[in-house]
Structure 1
Amino acid sequence: MTPSPTTVPPAGPTTASAPTPGPAPAAGRIVVKYVALALIWGSSFLLIKVALEGLAPTQVALGRIVLGGLALFAVATVTRRRWPRDPRAWGHLAVTGLLLCVLPFLAFAWAGQHLASGLSSILNATTPLMTAAASAALLPAERLTRRQGLGLALGIVGVVVIVGPWTYLGDLAESAPLPAVLACLGATACYGLGMTYLRRFVTPLHLPAETVAAGQVGSAAVVMLLLAPFVAREPVTLSTSVVTSLVLLGVLGTGIAYVWNTQVVATWGAQRASTVTYLTPVVGVALGTAVLGEHLEWYEPVGGALVVVGVVVAQGALRRPVRRASHPVDLDTSRG
């Protein structure tokens, strides 16, 4: 499903518009939502690990997507947000639901069986690289500048330091199984493509963020419910911790957080918004250590500090005000 050639230039939109009607969100509120996203999504890997104690990976993905979809539908209904009427918009929502929910959630849940939650959160920090690559190819207006590249490079160095690859030289296969690592990297590749697709095809619709997020996660829920009879038939063992983790993962991490993420992407752009995943390893490693007893090495907080520096540099390079379109961009598409 591609947009009509008369609605958007082949090079993509050259201006950004928030998906919410009325004035753009205040800068301070966007920063608060950005930090909240880091905390919420950083804790997601711990919640996945706990949920896997009683559920299969496909059931974890199914539960969080369905709960998130219900939460977002409730928000959109209460706030009386409008729904898109053009079928192409729903088609784009389905694509983003596949790229930003179904595929990565399945991959991270499966990898969570084999990797420490902290390591999963660290691998998740490759999302900005994936997004930068996709944005450079699909969004010429978001080409990397030298300073942006420096910020991204510092973040990646920080991630490498957090991982401490020198400690795995002798037993990498046992400590971090390659298929599980590749699953996490595949998930972040989906995130990168999905965030860029959102920016390129969905943002110009000027749909409310609640509508975009609800349509995206709702489409993903439909896909997962159709697949459930075939891929989520394993027996379950429910406990208070398992149920609580799944509810938090769905309602907050997959529900409310997706509204905030949509607002951040629309205001800051795909590349800058994706740097939230530089902060999730800090949260993920800290929670894995405090709650699950995962060992924290000296180099992990050092790497976390480098990650934060990379975020500051990358954001400083992106402080140019977002230009608004002088005329409406009519594209039928829409987008945690």
Structure 2
Amino acid sequence: MGKIQPCARTMYLPKFALAALGLIWGTNFLFMKWASVSLSATQIVFLRVLCGFVPVLLFALAKRALRWQQLRHIHHFAVMSLLATVIYYYAFAKGSGLLPSGVAGMLSGAIPLVSALCTWALLRHEQPTSRMLAGIAFGLAGVVLIAQPWRVSVAGVSLTGVAYMLLGCVSVGCSFVYARRYLSGLDMSPLALCTWQIGIALAIISALTDFGVIGRVADDPRTLVGTVLGLGVCGTGIAYVIYYYIVGQLGALTAASVTYIPPVVALMIGAGFAGEPVRPVEIVAACCIVCGVYLLQRRPSAAGERPSRS
């Protein structure tokens, strides 16, 4: 019996971590919505990055992942800090302030779809398969159903908010392409890259933030807890640590499946805790995005698929 328990723990702990990560990221949109009432987008990003950097730095130091010689790649770290942290977080903070948190969360589910488009646009040797093109079509249909541009004159969903969310998706999507082209061959752990990336992002966003009224975050305990603990410590710091643990235990492909969870969690959290209405069209849109991500991430069949030549 003594040998069964460790095996069971090894089997279920990574899956529990996967669910926990999806839950953490799914709640971020409600926290950003709350914070947007008192703080600007740059202030939200500053507090999130600051509070997220501390646990990541401590974990990297404990793992002895950092080396001063790694700073010879500081130009790559700076680009990644802009694409995968500063612009990404800023755009999501702006979008979440203009949209219901559930809608913002559903739009974040388009990250794998936009990432695929960025990959094909910038790495032209990678050809899409027919299944991938179908996934893109489903995902874009979901985005259109959420944005509903035909309702712009009747108080529909904010197109500006949708645009900010898509900007965040494009930014992080381009970061994946940049990392694949310039960082994949470096002898450096993902944890080290992440630590340098967030540290430089903290320096950049510090230079852009107005600290004069940032103390307003303490006026509302809900906003304070949501920003510092929800977005910072959990949504950035602990989430990165959990993500790298999942990659190490289950592999990158399985870890990528976490993208299915946040849109559903955000929709449920928004309806349950913020009283946001959930209309049938939004449920259909969420299903389209999830189906699109599934088609993009599904392994090719044994017979293989020919890349589309269209």
TM (norm. structure 1) is 0.74
In the alignment, which residue of structure 2 is the partner of 1:202? 183
Q: Distance in 1 between matches of 2:105 and 2:128?
A: 25
In the alignment, which residue of structure 2 is the partner of 1:72? 56
- Give the aligned residue type for 2:116: A
Q: Distance in 2 between matches of 1:211 and 1:105?
A: 20
In the alignment, which residue of structure 1 is the partner of 2:272? 290
The match for 2:240 among 237, 251, 258 is 258
Contact 1:135–1:143 (8 Å) recurs in 2: no
Distance 1:248 1:122, change over 3 A: same
Q: Distance in 2 between matches of 1:47 and 1:319?
A: 40
C-alpha deviation, 1:143, in angstroms: 3.2
Matches within 5 A, 1:311-326: 311-317=293-299
C-alpha deviation, 1:277, in angstroms: 4.1
- Give the aligned residue type for 1:90: I
Q: Distance in 2 between matches of 1:312 and 1:107?
A: 25
- Give the aligned residue type for 1:55: L
Q: Distance in 2 between matches of 1:227 and 1:44?
A: 22
Q: Distance in 1 between matches of 2:164 and 2:39?
A: 19
Is 1:168 the counterpart of 2:151 in the alignment?
yes
Q: Distance in 2 between matches of 1:183 and 1:315?
A: 25
**Sequence identity of aligned pairs in percent?**
30
C-alpha deviation, 1:206, in angstroms: 3.6
> 3-state DSSP class of the match of 2:128?
coil
The match for 2:32 among 44, 48, 55 is 48
Matches within 5 A, 1:303-314: 303-314=285-296
Q: Where does the alignment leave 5 or more consecutive residues of structure 2 unmatched?
A: 1-9, 303-310
- Give the aligned residue type for 2:84: L
Distance 1:210 1:237, change over 3 A: closer
Q: Distance in 2 between matches of 1:201 and 1:265?
A: 20
C-alpha deviation, 1:225, in angstroms: 1.6
The match for 2:138 among 154, 157, 166 is 154
Q: Distance in 2 between matches of 1:275 and 1:148?
A: 15
Number of aligned residues: 288
Larger deviation, residues 281-290 vs 294-303 = 294-303
Please list the CA deviations of residues 204-234 of structure 1 after superposition, one character each: whole Å capped at 9, or x if unmatched.
2242222121111111011112223xx3433
Distance 1:33 1:206, change over 3 A: farther
- Give the aligned residue type for 1:65: V
Distance 1:135 1:105, change over 3 A: same
In the alignment, which residue of structure 1 is the partner of 2:308? none
In the alignment, which residue of structure 2 is the partner of 1:190? 171
- Give the aligned residue type for 1:122: M
Q: Distance in 1 between matches of 2:92 and 2:289?
A: 22
Q: Distance in 2 between matches of 1:299 and 1:69?
A: 38
Is 1:98 the counterpart of 2:79 in the alignment?
no
> 3-state DSSP class of the match of 1:109?
helix
Q: Where does the alignment leave 5 or more consecutive residues of structure 1 unmatched?
A: 1-25, 321-336
In the alignment, which residue of structure 2 is the partner of 1:234? 213
> 3-state DSSP class of the match of 2:97?
coil
Contact 1:127–1:189 (8 Å) recurs in 2: yes
Please list the CA deviations of residues 227-271 of structure 1 after superposition, one character each: whole Å capped at 9, or x if unmatched.
23xx343351423211211122111211232345567789547xx
In the alignment, which residue of structure 1 is the partner of 2:203? 222
Is 1:61 the counterpart of 2:45 in the alignment?
yes
Contact 1:72–1:255 (8 Å) recurs in 2: yes
Q: Distance in 2 between matches of 1:56 and 1:306?
A: 32
Distance 1:255 1:142, change over 3 A: farther
- Give the aligned residue type for 2:212: R
The match for 2:113 among 122, 129, 136 is 129
Distance 1:249 1:285, change over 3 A: same
Contact 1:127–1:274 (8 Å) recurs in 2: no
In the alignment, which residue of structure 2 is the partner of 1:19? none
Distance 1:182 1:313, change over 3 A: closer
In the alignment, which residue of structure 2 is the partner of 1:334? none
